[in-house]
Amino acid sequence: MLADLIQSIEADYPNMVETRRYLHAHPELSFKEKNTAAFIEAFYKELGIPSRANVGGNGIIATIEGSTKGKTIALRADFDGLPIQDEKKVPYASKNPGVMHACGHDGHTATLLYVAKILHMHRNHLKGKIVCIHQHAEEFAPGGALSMIEDGALEGVDYVYGTHLWTSTPYGTIQTSPGNFMAAADKFIIEIIGKGGHGGMPHQTIDPIIIGSQFVLNVQQLLSRRMDPLHTAVISIGKFHAGDANNVIPERAVLEGTVRTFDAQLQEFIIDEMEKILHATCLSYDADYLFDYQKGYPPVVNHPNEAQFVLECAKEVPEVTRTEMVTPSMTGEDFSYYLQNKPGAFFFTGAQVLDKFVPHHHPLFDFDERAMLVAAKTFFHLIEKTNS
């Protein structure tokens, strides 16, 4: 059956690309993906594939039943976009101002739709059951994974797999890791409350910009001097806003950032130490502060046997020229929740565009669309080998 699946997906590849480009041109933000969800639901209805809508929110679940008993495998793809203006000069650029598929979710969705279509075509020769999880709201906590799981997305599932089209990795490469693969992704917001005044008379003020700048420097010493160097963590300040005029010292400054960790104990240590540093820095300047720390997704922790199984299956895909276990990434993903409930693995499918590479979450983001075919074939091998 595997050869038939491969032949069919190759024949349908132009349609997969067309679907991906349609989705890329019509992105929607997390928790607002009504039209995208309706498109996915209509795709399945047209093919006669049983599906359930509004799963945990805007999620869609489709099920392909094989003709004989076997394991039930869940495959997951996310479909939300990001609040970024698409700056690419391509026919399929986003038509929704300020919203863009800048992380490959359009490709994830198109891949899974056509994997499901081909499996449905060959269901009379399929063993077991395939559950296609189309997840909303991956980009912003609390995300869509947890609510979909609570609404039954993993009921009866034996294994769960997912992939991310990864532009940092060359086309033809499959990467994963046993155990820690992607980090816990937290967010914090700090408001420093000083005393505003004239820019020419700073002695009459409590300058929140100076205090905030000092905190930015001090908090990095938490990683270099307070934390075991054999442990891994990242603290990044992504936003620092204060004032509206060049000659006025503002009263307040707002800093926003992210913390990435793999260990819950280290996560709690960083939270406590960050507030100590913030408190001490503000105290030395007689300033007040507000500290809002929001825990995000837990780390993606692959099951070792399933991670190894992914690479074994990927080696059978002709287009795959390299398979490797890699060090964990400090990016985050709510696929972590699926792996907390069922054995499985998450992996990267190389999708780098060599002549115009840009990172994820960038206004010019794009990927090598051939990677969708590699991901689809890897899924087929996973399915076939699981029930062989």
pLDDT digits (tens, 9 = 90+) for 250-297: 999 999 999 999 999 999 999 999 999 999 999 999 999 999 999 999
Question: Tokens standing for 229?
Answer: 């160097």
Contacts of 293 (CB under 8 A, 6+ apart): 186, 187, 188, 271, 274, 275
Categorize the per-residue pLDDT at 243 as very low, low, confident or very high, splitting at 50, 70 and 90: very high
The residue-averaged pLDDT of 108-117 equals 98
Q: For 20-51, what is each residue's pLDDT tens digit?
A: 999 999 999 999 999 999 999 999 999 999 99
Q: For 142-198, what is each residue's pLDDT tens digit?
A: 999 999 999 999 999 999 999 999 999 999 999 999 999 999 999 999 999 999 999
- 210 pLDDT higher than 80: yes
Q: For residue 175, what are the β-bridge partners?
A: 324, 348
The residue-averaged pLDDT of 118-138 equals 97
CATH of 2-182+299-386, one of 3.30.450.70, 3.40.630.10, 3.40.605.10, 3.40.50.1980: 3.40.630.10
Categorize the per-residue pLDDT at 355 as very low, low, confident or very high, splitting at 50, 70 and 90: confident
Which residue of the set 12, 33, 80, 306 is catalytic?
Answer: 80
10 catalytic residue (yes or no): no
> Of all residues in the chain, what percent carry a pLDDT higher than 70?
100
Residue 232's nearest CA partner among 252, 262, 274, 204 is 262
The residue-averaged pLDDT of 316-343 equals 97
Which is it for strands 322-325 and 184-193: parallel, antiparallel or unpaired? unpaired
Domain boundaries, the chain: 2-182+299-386, 184-297
Q: What is the pTM of this model?
A: 0.94
**With contact defined as beta carbons under 8 Å apart, do 367 and 351 qualify?**
yes
Q: CA–CA separation, 64 vs 5, rounded Å?
A: 14
What does the pLDDT read at residue 197?
97
Average pLDDT, whole number, for the chain? 97
Residue 274's nearest CA partner among 246, 310, 237 is 237
Q: CA–CA separation, 288 vs 40, rounded Å?
A: 49
CB count in 10 Å sphere of residue 53: 16
Q: CA–CA separation, 289 vs 193, rounded Å?
A: 6
Q: CA–CA separation, 143 vs 38, rounded Å?
A: 19
Categorize the per-residue pLDDT at 219 as very low, low, confident or very high, splitting at 50, 70 and 90: very high
The residue-averaged pLDDT of 227-241 equals 94
138 catalytic residue (yes or no): yes
Q: CA–CA separation, 243 vs 263, rounded Å?
A: 37
Which residue of the set 12, 33, 86, 138 is catalytic?
Answer: 138
State how far the alpha carbon of 281 is from the alpha carbons of 63, 241, 289, in Å. Answer: 55, 18, 10
Categorize the per-residue pLDDT at 388 as very low, low, confident or very high, splitting at 50, 70 and 90: confident
Q: Residue 343: helix, strand or coil by DSSP?
A: coil
What does the pLDDT read at residue 357?
83
Residue 291's nearest CA partner among 300, 281, 301, 299 is 281
In CATH, what is the architecture of 184-297? 2-Layer Sandwich (3.30)
**Residue 142: Cβ-neighbour burial (10 angstroms; 0-12, 13-18, 19+):** middle
- 356 pLDDT higher than 80: no
The residue-averaged pLDDT of 53-65 equals 98
What does the pLDDT read at residue 120?
98
Question: CA geometry: angle at 305 spanning 302 and 306, to 5°?
Answer: 60
